């Protein structure tokens, strides 16, 4: 297999640094550089001077230059940055892997529109284990009926995470709703403090915890009056997201266009 040239959006962020390290170590890839937003303090510095990563590449704010040199760009940034990056990818015909969370339905539809020109793989969670969990949640929700089993989704992340509930938690809710043949918009309950009333059959409740440096923990509970079934995934560190993103990069590098999710890669 020819080496895949990869660029990193948000290369100095937590995931950006983890991805850069792994790409430099992996013989399947060539690191062509990374970029940051224009106001970043370390623009113009070598990556090795800005981090503990040994790379002579300079941190740039010229995203287009990275897209032009890359076969694939991996983007774990913010929704607004991702929308900007997908437009550039469309112009340069560069494949894109998106792990950004907090993306709205309208933004997702906009991103999908570019997949007619380029291959895009987007997932709220790049972990193979979590993507298996999505499928298990759908099956469980289908088997454990809404008149008997209440669904509650709890998630915990590091204190730096801005969006809440996490994109993964919302995706778990979507799969639970699919299993019940309904929509998450109709059944989700994000805040029980505004309307003080008892739980309705079919509600999908969410709870959020932020603290420390927890990479990510998600629990989907199916609770009846007689028993409880918990489906749990705990990420010990970010390496599982990096591994998934690199598998995704290999996958999209072989496509000319189209919109994909991790389930397409895993054939779930």
The class that CATH gives domain 128-235 is alpha beta
Q: Are the folds of 4-122+238-266 and 128-235 the same?
A: no
Structure-block tokens of residue 195: 């309307």
Catalytic positions: 157, 161
Where do the domains of the chain lie? 4-122+238-266, 128-235
3-class secondary-structure state, position 149: coil
The per-residue pLDDT string of the chain (268 residues; one tens digit each, 9 = 90 and over) reads 689 999 999 999 999 999 999 999 999 999 999 999 988 999 999 999 989 899 989 999 999 999 999 999 999 999 999 999 999 999 999 999 999 988 998 999 999 999 999 999 999 889 999 999 999 999 999 999 989 999 999 999 999 998 899 999 999 999 999 999 999 999 999 999 988 889 999 999 999 999 999 999 999 999 999 999 999 999 998 889 999 999 999 999 999 999 999 989 887 5
CATH code, 4-122+238-266: 3.40.50.720
Contacts of 232 (CB under 8 A, 6+ apart): 217, 218, 219, 220
pTM attached to this predicted model: 0.83
* Sheet of strand 258-260: strand arrangement: 29-35, 4-9, 72-75, 95-98, 119-122, 258-260
């Amino acid at each position: 297999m020819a080496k895949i040239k990869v660029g990193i959006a948000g290369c100095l962020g937590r995931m950006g640094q983890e991805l850069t390290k792994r790409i430099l170590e992996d013989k399947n890839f060539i690191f062509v550089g990374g970029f940051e937003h224009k106001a970043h303090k370390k623009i113009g510095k070598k990556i090795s001077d800005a981090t503990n990563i040994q790379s002579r590449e300079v941190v740039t704010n010229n995203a287009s230059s990275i897209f032009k040199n890359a076969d694939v760009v991996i983007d774990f940034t913010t929704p607004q940055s991702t929308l900007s990056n997908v437009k550039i990818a469309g112009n340069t015909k560069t494949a894109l892997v998106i792990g950004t969370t907090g993306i709205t339905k309208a933004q997702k539809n906009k991103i999908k529109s570019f997949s007619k020109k380029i291959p895009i793989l987007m997932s709220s969670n790049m972990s193979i284990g979590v993507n298996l969990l999505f499928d298990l949640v759908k099956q469980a929700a289908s088997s454990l009926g809404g008149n008997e089993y209440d669904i509650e989704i709890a998630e915990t992340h590091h204190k730096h995470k801005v969006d809440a509930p996490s994109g993964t938690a919302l995706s778990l809710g979507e799969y639970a709703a699919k299993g019940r043949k309904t929509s998450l918009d109709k059944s989700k309950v994000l805040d029980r403090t505004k309307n003080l009333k008892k739980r309705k059959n079919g509600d999908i409740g969410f709870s959020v915890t932020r603290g420390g440096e927890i990479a990510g923990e998600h629990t989907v509970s199916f609770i009846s009056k007689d028993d409880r079934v918990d489906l749990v995934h705990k990420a010990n560190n970010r390496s599982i997201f990096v591994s998934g993103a690199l598998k995704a990069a290999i996958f999209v590098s072989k496509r000319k266009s189209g919109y994909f999710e991790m389930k397409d890669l895993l054939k779930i």
